[in-house]
Structure 1
Amino acid sequence: MLDPVARTSNSLASHFRPSAWADQGRKIIPMMRAYGGLSPRAGAVALPRTLGRIGSLEVRLAANAAEVRRAQRLRWHVFYEEMKAIADGPSRLARRDIDAFDAICDHLVVIDHAVTERPPFGAPRPAIVGTYRLLRQEVADRNGGFYTASEFDISGLLERHRGKRFLELGRSCVLPAYRNKRTVELLWHGIWTYVLAHRVDVMFGCASLEGTDPRALSLELSFLHHHAGAPAAWAARALPSRHVEMGRLSREAVDGRKALHALPPLVKGYLRLGAYIGEGAVVDRQFNTTDVLVVLPVSAINPRYIGHFGATADRHAA
């Protein structure tokens, strides 16, 4: 799982993307739906077209299938061309990052109205420069579950909090020139607006550490294990077949200052917000990363950040 924003930005958060195909035994949305566009999602809340603005940048949900395809092309550029992930057949043929879940997710996009994108056909249009994928629990339940379940056993977590609304965050990326505080803050303003509108109780997903050798990541993984592990109520473990031990060093052997310096800004940002880390990591060789599970109950968010974006998400309201 890639984290291109986290490499260059000290912003709150930058990338939160589950990265592997769901188990073959689970119900999967037919792949062709990911090419053709979106189906209506029962229970969707009517949100304003614009969720926030900073200067020429606007954040909103993708309005149609064409905008979803543009977000997929952005993901292709970042994940596969820039970061050298290994593409599967459908993505390689389409030159877009595609998976079956795209058809049922909402796609948050950041658009720069000061930059024109010229498609092969049609009129020039403002460029999509960032994206985030959002999957609500009621939608996941009707369509085979969450993507994160391909790496982590979240069944107990969902069962313990029956009645709470979960939101999976994924497939986030930003073009290199926009990997700054302003763009990421606008993405998070959009997410916060969405969370409030849908009365989401818990956000979760996978965060990535670069590299596939857990030994080289012993300090970071051990720090998360000893200092950020989820309490029993919010705990979840990596799938047994993919589980990688995180507590590789003793608590006494962990240099906290050095570990924090080594962690991606994504992970540090979520820890500041009040997030917990699940038990066990997962090596994702397709994306050259080691993934950890992050669980962020809305009730645990540091009030400082709620105040920053506004209790009613009005800080960057259009």
Structure 2
Amino acid sequence: MIGTSKGMVLAGMPVSGLLLQKGGYRARIASGADDVLAAQRLRARCFRTDPLDQDKFDAACLHVLIETVTCGRVVGCFRLMLLQNGGQLEESYSFQFYDLSHLSTFPGHLMELGRFCIDPDCKDAGVLRLAWGAVTALVDQSGTELLFGCSSFAGTSPDAYLEAFALLHRRHLAPEPWRPGAKAKSVRLLEDLLRNRRAGQKPDLKQAQAQLPPLLRSYLAMGGWVSDHVVIDADLNTCHVFTGLGVSTIPAVRKRLLRGVAEPR
């Protein structure tokens, strides 16, 4: 299913069908309302928004399902919106929460990844690898130059993730020319969250890595960056940071690994 948003980049993009199949799982683009419903049900389980997690952006996005080959059980999903350039960022989900005026002049294609979910009962790391392989294939097909989205932490108390936020603040803040500004009603600056730490105190790397959501760990491993503040989203019972990743800045070794996963076998 494909949305009708004028921001969608359609040229050369598949609107349905298999993207990738490996290790007992397959990634495919949703082909109809039933597929989107399956994704919304999984999202509801992950975000605890029963019976369905749905919003107005679903109709403007491509939806990707990760499912088992044997029985077709959906174990992961994400949605994506493709934009021609930064001037169309106001159509994105993230625009609701962040001041993206600094990115409005970005000249290349952008891809917003959202509602990235893995079934909490599925502990196979291969699902996340396959999902990133599918993202890689879609990035290459669309000519995307910047990936972005909201990386969510469970719950609405950012104080539970201080080591993670200390790491983000120390090493992974967005470049100043692209840095998102605060816009949402409920935000916490990373600097304020860390105000009571000792001067020069380094983050506990082991704790920080354990506190980071898997999706955000993947972004950071590829050179991703985040906003300087956290948005508290009571509706989804999460707190999140804006996350960006310039495709051209991904290390060459990491690109080879991703494209290795994305290659059909």
Q: Which interval holds the TM-score relative to the shorter structure?
A: 0.7 to 0.9
2:64 alignment partner in structure 1: 108
Q: Which has the higher mean CA deviation after the structures are superposed, 48-57 or 146-155?
A: 48-57
Q: Cα deviations across residues 41-70 of structure 1 (Å, max 9, x unaligned)?
A: 664124383211114311111112221122
Candidates 204, 214, 221, aligned match of 1:272: 221
Equivalent residues of 1:38, 1:65 under 8 A apart = no
1:290 alignment partner in structure 2: 239
Equivalent position amino acid for 1:52 in 2 = L
Root-mean-square deviation (Å) = 2.6
- Identity score, percent: 26
1:221 alignment partner in structure 2: 165
1:305 alignment partner in structure 2: 254
Tell me how far 1:239 sits from its aligned partner.
Answer: 1.3
Equivalent residues of 1:186, 1:316 under 8 A apart = no
Cα separation, 2, equivalents of 1:56 and 1:260: 28
Secondary structure of 1:114's match?
Answer: coil
1:254 alignment partner in structure 2: 202
Return closer, same or farther for 1:254/1:195 CA change in 2, 3 Å cut-off.
same
Equivalent residues of 1:212, 1:283 under 8 A apart = yes
Secondary structure of 1:252's match?
Answer: coil
Tell me how far 1:208 sits from its aligned partner.
Answer: 1.9
Equivalent position amino acid for 1:100 in 2 = K
Equivalent residues of 1:151, 1:242 under 8 A apart = no
Return closer, same or farther for 1:315/1:173 CA change in 2, 3 Å cut-off.
closer
Tell me how far 1:39 sits from its aligned partner.
Answer: 4.6
Candidates 39, 44, 56, aligned match of 1:71: 39
Equivalent position amino acid for 1:254 in 2 = K
Return closer, same or farther for 1:178/1:198 CA change in 2, 3 Å cut-off.
same
Q: Cα deviations across residues 165-186 of structure 1 (Å, max 9, x unaligned)?
A: 1111001112234332211111
Of Structure 1 and Structure 2, the greater strand share is in 2
Q: Does 1:54 align with 2:14?
A: no
Cα separation, 1, equivalents of 2:101 and 2:230: 17
The TM-score, its normalising length taken from structure 1, stands at 0.72
The TM-score, its normalising length taken from structure 2, stands at 0.85
Candidates 79, 86, 107, aligned match of 1:133: 79
Instruction: Report which of the two structures shows the higher radius of gyration computed on alpha carbons.
Output: 1
Return closer, same or farther for 1:65/1:306 CA change in 2, 3 Å cut-off.
same
1:200 alignment partner in structure 2: 144
Q: Does 1:158 align with 2:114?
A: no
Unaligned runs of 5+ in 2: none
Equivalent residues of 1:203, 1:296 under 8 A apart = yes
Equivalent residues of 1:226, 1:251 under 8 A apart = no
Unaligned runs of 5+ in 1: 1-36, 81-86, 116-125
Return closer, same or farther for 1:61/1:307 CA change in 2, 3 Å cut-off.
same
Cα separation, 2, equivalents of 1:216 and 1:55: 35
Secondary structure of 2:95's match?
Answer: helix
Tell me how far 1:187 sits from its aligned partner.
Answer: 0.8
Cα separation, 1, equivalents of 2:176 and 2:37: 40
Secondary structure of 2:73's match?
Answer: strand
Return closer, same or farther for 1:157/1:256 CA change in 2, 3 Å cut-off.
farther
Q: Cα deviations across residues 48-96 of structure 1 (Å, max 9, x unaligned)?
A: 832111143111111122211221122223322xxxxxx4xxxx5xx32
